[in-house]
Structure 1
Amino acid sequence: MRKIEGLLIDVDGTFVDSNLAHAQSWHEALKEAGIETTYQEVRDNLGLGSDTLLSRIGKLQLKSKEAQRVRDIRREIFHQRYLKSIKPFPSAQQLLQELNREYKIFVVSSATEEDLEALLKQTGLLSYIEGYVSAKDTTDSNESPIEVAIRKIQLPASKLLMLGSSPYAVDAAEECGIKTIAFTCGGWRERDLQDAVAVYKDPDDLLHTMRKKNAHVLDIRGHRGLSENI
């Protein structure tokens, strides 16, 4: 079994209960801009990033003034109406604290740097990570957020593990040769996350399992046998 030295984590829906706030913000912004959509349509595409929401749902050119107007409306809605109410999932801080003793931790996100840093500070998670990748890091690059994170964390993909909560995160990590432990607290069902090496309810579930077995992450047998698949 290969030794894992670093963790890439997806914060939204994984360590932070923020998917509802993000989906509501985008839904309200699109509606205010006169673009008809449903909350569920936005929610189903949330993990693909803002560019996909604007092009697929909004039918907008990404560099157009209208697309930028929607971004600006969404930013104002998110920061004024939702940010202060967002909280980490149960035991998120404790789990990161324990993982931080063993692994280098990098957050991987398609969120703006402003949103991501505000979210990490609001939820008290910033002190447990080594760094993060935001939309700013991929704006002028052909690299995916995970590819940028691999470069920044200075470890090969074979030494990394992903913690995420959407099938998009699982697929993106797999494309880079990285396995994923997934959580269902982001709103996706276990069958949606079937390509992950293990699935847990939330950070508390994983932390409880670690403590119960007196084990590190890679010693834990998840729903499909983590140590066998890594």
Structure 2
Amino acid sequence: MPEPTIAVLDVDGTLVDSNYQHALAWYRALRSLGETFPIWRIHRLIGMGGDQLVRALGGDDVEKRIGDEARERWVEEVDKIIHEIAPLPGARDLLVAIKERGHRLVLASSGKPQHVDHFVDLLGGRDLADAITSSEDAEASKPEPDLLEVALEKLGVAPDADSVMIGDSVWDVEAAKKAGMPTIVVRSGGFGDDELKDAGAVGIYDTPGDLAEHLDDTPLA
């Protein structure tokens, strides 16, 4: 029998509906430090790790002056509204469908450990995941591939193991491409289909539930 495929799933924005809360949290954190950016610009960067977002948004000067403090305040702002975040439609169904097909499952998040724990419990995913990652597991976050490489290391498999990424942003696709993984995407990241296809997505679905219903049309059949 062939080895099971490894499904590496992004959590924030892919399984739980958190992208707009994160954008708002970044807006409030940065504004509290005297830097106000249009929230649409922040939203376009959600999915990129916080270690890179401030520089991508405001340049080296803003990163140098307030980067670390902005990240600390972002955590505080997320804590205030985390109760508003809910699973996306069919999120747990997708996890169950992947496991029922015999694949291995990693919940790969670059979020803070306490946020990741909250979301995994919200999904009821702790009993389904073969491994879970957080920001503590990698030096650089997406669009760098570190977190995906760590996900495979946690399973004790080679970097070229048969694996598929499931995400919601162009940053997920770019990170997976660097790690040698094809990426299936759900539309909850707010990116256009053309953007996702141009980045390299091999499949695009409305929701995790929609993907679960069509899983046999993907590399996770």
- TM-score normalised according to structure 2 size: 0.86
Q: Deviations over 1:78-115 (max 9, x none)?
A: 112x2111111111111111212311111222212122
Structure with bigger gyration radius: 1
Correspondence for 1:144: 146
- Kept in 2, the 8 Å contact 1:158–1:177? The answer is no
Matches within 5 A, 1:48-197: 48-58=48-58, 59-61=62-64, 66-80=66-80, 82-101=81-100, 102-139=102-139, 144-156=146-158, 157-194=160-197, 195-197=200-202
Correspondence for 2:38: 38
In 1, Cα distance between equivalents of 2:163 and 2:152: 8
In 2, Cα distance between equivalents of 1:4 and 1:104: 7
Correspondence for 2:208: 203
> Which runs of 5 or more residues in structure 1 are unaligned?
221-230
Amino acid at match of 1:99: I
Q: Deviations over 1:191-219 (max 9, x none)?
A: 11111111111111112224xxxx47437
CA change 1:219–1:31 in 2 (3 A) is: closer
In 2, Cα distance between equivalents of 1:45 and 1:92: 23
CA change 1:140–1:219 in 2 (3 A) is: closer
RMSD of aligned residue pairs (Cα, Å): 2.3
Q: Deviations over 1:39-71 (max 9, x none)?
A: 11111111221012222324222xx6x333222
> Which runs of 5 or more residues in structure 2 are unaligned?
none
How many residue pairs get aligned? The number is 211
In 2, Cα distance between equivalents of 1:154 and 1:207: 26
Once the two structures are aligned, what percentage of the paired residues are identical?
A: 27
- Kept in 2, the 8 Å contact 1:6–1:155? The answer is no
In 1, Cα distance between equivalents of 2:217 and 2:97: 9
- TM-score normalised according to structure 1 size: 0.83
Higher mean displacement: 129-138 or 119-128: 119-128
How far did residue 140 of structure 1 move? Answer: 8.6
Q: Secondary structure at the match of 2:106?
A: strand
